[in-house]
């Protein structure tokens, strides 16, 4: 039996004279919500999981792989972590169309087939030839998520994917996410400050406040208590 | 008029070669300077930008000290091959490239420094190493500045006079580029020829300015 947790992290982060200590654990594949007010260090933790920010101490393990560990000196660079990262402002490459963006991290030999398959699975075929600037906010988020999923990451990291959208677009994207995205990655880590979102999408929730993790458990349980 | 034709053709070849050589070198230097702070960073910036500020004759003098028959690099080259680049086509090209380098580095370094780091972070999480990120993210994001730098380099190269005079001389039928021909025609009192040359150089320069301005003003994408 596999006893390795799907994701486990315990990171100490310093930035701009402040520090944060966040922990989280997912025993099984699913969606982990990092929930808390802005300034609680959610984005920074996400960046640490991606390997874009180096924690001052702690460890990050994903499946059986150690991605970061100060005790043993392991620091896996972002390009070798097999993580998909979607920052708050999607960062779609403006000089590539949707297909080019989605296929960006896929080796050339399999790129076309992978992109075709993924666009079909994620219901994005109609957008294939569009330029990022011509897409709505919700469409940009979908394409950015598709791009992050294309190389087949173990871990998908989403930073407030719904926050820049109006209510209708938010509801639509949430339904799309539940229907299409969750099955694509082993573990999804979703950063949000929206309780409704956390409840409906999370399998497990980490509540962060004032630079530390204060509670962890099933979303209904943790949010019910707070 | 055949002399004018030769000069025009020579100037175009010199400027094209100088641009082709200096553009990749300049982009690489700009990348390194924009990306890393290392001991000697300021020294590299100073050396690269010096030709922009020094009188061209001084830059030319340095090039002679470096590449001349008794120069730092020129002497061993001469001993080895019996040849020297002094007073040749290559001297024109090297000089033009040296004078164009600071314009390329300045233009492209500014563009690299203004890039949003998010794009490179995303590329890293998508599995790209530093070289692939440079080629597939930084270059395409900065391509307008790179093309503009190429246009400016070409303009600087085709207009080079002072340093070329020092390293390449003004050998008729060999190193007499357009700007040198203007000088010769003027000295000889050949106003008609001078007029034609001046007009040609002005047209080329005006076209370059229009192209560079258009590139600089259009948004990225």
Whole-structure pTM value: 0.87
Condensed to tens digits (0 to 9), the pLDDT of residues A138-182 reads 899 999 999 999 999 999 999 998 888 888 888 888 888 888 887
Q: What is the pLDDT of residue B213?
A: 80
Choose between A224 and A46: higher pLDDT.
Answer: A46
Of the partner residues B118, B129, B137, the one whose CB lies closest to the CB of residue A79:
B129
pLDDT score of B219 more than 80: no
Nearest to A29 by CA among A11, A60, A1, A5: A5
SS3 B169: coil
Of the partner residues A77, A95, A151, the one whose CB lies closest to the CB of residue B126:
A151
Percentage of chain B modeled with pLDDT above 70 = 97
Percentage of chain A modeled with pLDDT above 70 = 98
Q: What is the pLDDT of residue A39?
A: 79
CATH superfamily assigned to domain B3-217: MetI-like (1.10.3720.10)
Which chain B residues are Cβ-neighbours of A147 within 8 angstroms? 122, 126
Question: A115 Cβ partners below 8 Å, 6+ apart?
Answer: A99, A102, A103, A106, A150
Q: What is the pLDDT of residue B117?
A: 93
Chain B, nearest residue to A148 by Cα: B126
Q: List alpha helices for chain B, DSSP H.
A: 2-35, 41-53, 56-67, 74-81, 89-113, 117-125, 130-133, 139-141, 143-158, 162-167, 178-187, 191-217
Chain A, nearest residue to B128 by Cα: A79
Q: What is the pLDDT of residue A167?
A: 86
Choose between A2 and B49: higher pLDDT.
Answer: B49
The mean pLDDT of chain A is 90
Of the partner residues B122, B129, B221, the one whose CB lies closest to the CB of residue A94:
B221
Domain-wise residue ranges, chain B: 3-217
B160, B176 Cβ separation under 8 angstroms: no
Averaged over A68-93, what is the pLDDT? 93
Of the partner residues B118, B125, B140, the one whose CB lies closest to the CB of residue A95:
B140
Helix axes B41-53, B89-113, angle to 10 degrees: 120
Q: What is the pLDDT of residue A222?
A: 87
Which chain B residues are Cβ-neighbours of A131 within 8 angstroms? 221
Condensed to tens digits (0 to 9), the pLDDT of residues B46-99 reads 999 999 999 999 999 999 999 998 999 999 999 999 889 999 999 999 999 999
Confidence class of residue B221 from pLDDT cuts 50, 70 and 90? very low
Give the Cα-Cα-Cα angle A110, A112, A117 (nearest 5 degrees). 95
pLDDT score of A100 more than 50: yes
Confidence class of residue B1 from pLDDT cuts 50, 70 and 90? very low
Percentages helix, strand, coil for chain A, rounded to the nearest 5? 35, 30, 35
On whether any CB of chain B is under 8 Å from the CB of A63, the answer is: no
Are the Cβ atoms of A91 and B220 closer than 8 angstroms? no
pLDDT score of A226 more than 60: no
Which chain B residues are Cβ-neighbours of A83 within 8 angstroms? 125
Closest Cα of chain B to A220: distance in Å? Answer: 32
Which chain A residues are Cβ-neighbours of B142 within 8 angstroms? none
Averaged over B137-147, what is the pLDDT? 94
Are the Cβ atoms of B118 and A81 closer than 8 angstroms? no
pLDDT score of A190 more than 80: yes
Where is average pLDDT lowest: A7-11, A35-39, B34-38, B118-122?
A35-39
Are the Cβ atoms of B121 and A147 closer than 8 angstroms? no
Where is average pLDDT lowest: B91-105, B157-171, B205-219?
B205-219
SS3 A75: strand
Domains of chain A in start order, with CATH, are 27-52+78-225 (3.40.50.300)
């Amino acid at each position: 039996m596999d006893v390795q947790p799907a994701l486990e992290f315990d990171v100490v982060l310093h930035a701009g004279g402040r520090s944060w200590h966040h922990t989280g654990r997912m025993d099984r594949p699913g969606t982990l919500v990092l929930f808390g007010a802005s300034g609680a260090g959610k984005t920074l933790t996400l960046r640490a999981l991606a390997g874009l920010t180096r924690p001052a101490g702690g460890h990050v393990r994903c499946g059986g792989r150690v991605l970061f560990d100060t005790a043993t000196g392991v620091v896996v660079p972002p390009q070798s972590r097999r993580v998909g990262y979607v920052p708050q402002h999607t960062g779609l490459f403006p000089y590539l169309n949707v297909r080019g963006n989605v296929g960006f991290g896929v080796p050339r030999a399999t790129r076309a087939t992978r992109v075709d398959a993924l666009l079909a699975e994620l219901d994005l075929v109609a957008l294939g030839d569009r330029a990022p600037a011509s897409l709505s906010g919700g469409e940009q988020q979908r394409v950015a998520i598709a791009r992050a999923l294309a190389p087949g990451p173990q871990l998908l990291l989403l930073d407030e994917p719904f926050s820049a959208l109006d209510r209708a677009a938010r509801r639509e994207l949430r339904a799309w996410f539940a229907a299409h995205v969750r099955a694509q990655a082993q573990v999804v880590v979703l950063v949000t400050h929206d309780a409704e979102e956390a409840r409906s999408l999370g399998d497990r929730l980490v509540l962060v406040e004032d630079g530390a993790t204060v509670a962890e458990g099933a979303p209904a349980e943790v949010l019910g208590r707070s | 008029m055949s002399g004018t034709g030769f000069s025009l053709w020579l100037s175009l070849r010199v400027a094209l070669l100088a641009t082709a050589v200096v553009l990749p070198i300049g982009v690489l230097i700009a990348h390194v300077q924009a990306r890393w702070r290392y001991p000697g960073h300021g020294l590299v910036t100073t050396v690269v930008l010096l030709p922009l500020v020094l009188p061209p004759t001084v830059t030319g003098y340095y090039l002679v000290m470096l590449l001349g028959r008794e120069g730092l690099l020129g002497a061993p080259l001469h001993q080895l091959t019996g040849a020297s680049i002094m007073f040749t086509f290559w001297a024109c090209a090297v000089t033009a490239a040296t004078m164009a380098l600071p314009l390329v580095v300045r233009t492209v370094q500014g563009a690299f420094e203004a890039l949003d780091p998010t794009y490179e972070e995303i590329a890293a999480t998508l599995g790209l190493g530093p070289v692939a990120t440079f080629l597939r993210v930084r270059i395409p994001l900065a391509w307008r500045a790179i093309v503009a730098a190429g246009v400016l380099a070409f303009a600087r190269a085709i207009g080079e006079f002072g340093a070329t005079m020092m390293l390449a001389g003004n050998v008729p039928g060999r190193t007499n580029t357009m700007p040198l021909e203007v000088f010769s025609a003027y000295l000889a009192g050949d106003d008609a020829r001078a007029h034609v040359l001046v007009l040609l150089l002005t047209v080329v320069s005006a076209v370059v300015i229009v192209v560079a301005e258009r590139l600089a003003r259009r948004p990225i994408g």
